[in-house]
Structure 1
Amino acid sequence: MTLHDRLNGINLYLIGMMGAGKSSTGAELAQALGYQFFDTDGVVEAAAGQPITEIFAHQGEAGFRQLETSVLAELSTYRRLVIATGGGIVTQQQNWSYLHHGIVVWLDVPPAILQARLAGDLDRPLLQGQDWDSKLTTLLAQRQSLYAQADVRVAVTANDSVTAIVARILALVEERIRSEADSAVLN
């Protein structure tokens, strides 16, 4: 039985900090599984008809988070999806009820790699201003325990290609499904 068969249409949700590579990894992961790919940030922008920076400017973070939750709620009703989520999606308790409709995969990227990837990125509303790298460190510290609630943790290094990360995700998800099946048989 293949992983695709074992998944039986269950969605995979990628969580992690901004700059973790959820979008690029998610697209390749969906292709590997024969699933559709959605990026919640992209869906929020399409639904609002404006970029996230403008949503933050006009509605604030709270307004953005409401839109994000609505998008996640809608996407979670479908099957056979890989969904790359926004970095802060885990901060809203309600979102976990939707995330738990599938398998939650945390792309755990060290702060130094995130800082290198995000340097000069002006499209991240939470990182605007002079001291963006310490803001990033603070956000990571605040979210670390939430990310750790994922079903699968994938440690990412600077040398990892997207293909290598996808292969690790597939192996870890398979391992997770097998261990759940084994424990179900034992109970």
Structure 2
Amino acid sequence: MTLSQHLKGINLYLIGMMGAGKSSTGAQLAKALGYHFFDTDSVLEAAAGQTIPEIFEHQGEAAFRQLETAVLAQLAAHRRLVIATGGGIVTQQHNWSYLHHGIVIWLDVPLTVLRSRLVGDMGRPLLQRGDWEATLAQLMAQRRPLYAQADVQVTIDDSDQGVETIVERILTLVEKRIRPPADSAMGN
């Protein structure tokens, strides 16, 4: 039986900080499983007809978080999806009711790697200030305990060889998570 068959259509949710690689990893993970891929940020932008920075500017973060929850609720109603979530989706307690219907995978990337990936990125509204590195560190400190509630943690550092290697590690960890140990499957 393949991993896809063992999953029985259960969705996989990628969580982690902005810049962790959830979108690129999620697309490859979905392909490997024969699942469909969605990025909550992309779906949200398409539904709102605005970019995330525009939503933040015109409606504020609270409105963005409400839209984000609505998108997550819509996606969670489907099966056989890999869903890359926004970095702050874990900060809304209600979102966990959707996330826990699937397998939650935390892409845990060190702050130093995130800094190098995000330098000059103008598409991250929460980092559009002079002290963006301090803000990033503060957000990570606040969110880390929430990310730690994930079913699977994949630690990624700057020595990782690329998305394919990360996807292989995720598949191995998810398989370990969902398959019963051999001795308990035999009734021992």
TM category (shorter chain) comes to: over 0.9
Name the structure 2 match of 1:138.
138
Q: Mapping of 1:89-168 within 5 angstroms?
A: 89-160=89-160, 161-168=162-169
Question: Does the alignment pair 1:172 with 2:168?
Answer: no
Equivalent position amino acid for 1:111 in 2: L
Q: C-alpha separation between the residues in 1 aligned to 2:18 and 2:127?
A: 10
Q: C-alpha separation between the residues in 2 aligned to 1:185 and 1:65?
A: 46
Percentage identity across aligned positions? 71
Equivalent position amino acid for 2:133 in 1: D
Q: C-alpha separation between the residues in 1 aligned to 2:127 and 2:137?
A: 10
Q: C-alpha separation between the residues in 1 aligned to 2:61 and 2:181?
A: 37
Q: Secondary structure at the match of 1:133?
A: helix
Kindly state the Cα deviation for residue 143 of structure 1 after the two structures are TM-superposed. Answer: 0.3
Structure with more helix by fraction:
1
Q: Secondary structure at the match of 1:73?
A: helix
Equivalent position amino acid for 1:178 in 2: R
Q: C-alpha separation between the residues in 2 aligned to 1:143 and 1:184?
A: 36
Name the structure 1 match of 2:28.
28
Equivalent position amino acid for 1:53 in 2: P
Computed over aligned residues only, the root mean square deviation of the Cα atoms, in angstroms, reads: 1.7
Comparing 42-51 with 155-164, greater Cα deviation is found at 155-164
Name the structure 2 match of 1:69.
69
Distance 1:168 1:66, change over 3 A: same
Kindly state the Cα deviation for residue 182 of structure 1 after the two structures are TM-superposed. Answer: 7.3
Question: Does the alignment pair 1:80 with 2:80?
Answer: yes
Q: C-alpha separation between the residues in 1 aligned to 2:180 and 2:16?
A: 24
Q: C-alpha separation between the residues in 2 aligned to 1:14 and 1:89?
A: 10
* Number of residue pairs matched by the alignment: 187
Q: TM-score, normalised by structure 2?
A: 0.96
- Which of structure 1's runs of 4+ aligned residues deviate more than 2 A? 179-186
Kindly state the Cα deviation for residue 29 of structure 1 after the two structures are TM-superposed. Answer: 0.3
Q: C-alpha separation between the residues in 1 aligned to 2:155 and 2:70?
A: 29
Comparing 62-71 with 152-161, greater Cα deviation is found at 152-161
Q: TM-score, normalised by structure 1?
A: 0.96
Kindly state the Cα deviation for residue 178 of structure 1 after the two structures are TM-superposed. Answer: 1.4
Q: C-alpha separation between the residues in 2 aligned to 1:149 and 1:116?
A: 26
Equivalent position amino acid for 1:122 in 2: M
Q: C-alpha separation between the residues in 1 aligned to 2:182 and 2:94?
A: 27
Q: What CA deviation, in whole Å up to 9, does each residue of 1:105-133 have, x standing for no partner?
A: 00000000000000000110000110000
Q: Secondary structure at the match of 2:77?
A: coil
Q: C-alpha separation between the residues in 2 aligned to 1:93 and 1:78?
A: 21
Name the structure 2 match of 1:9.
9
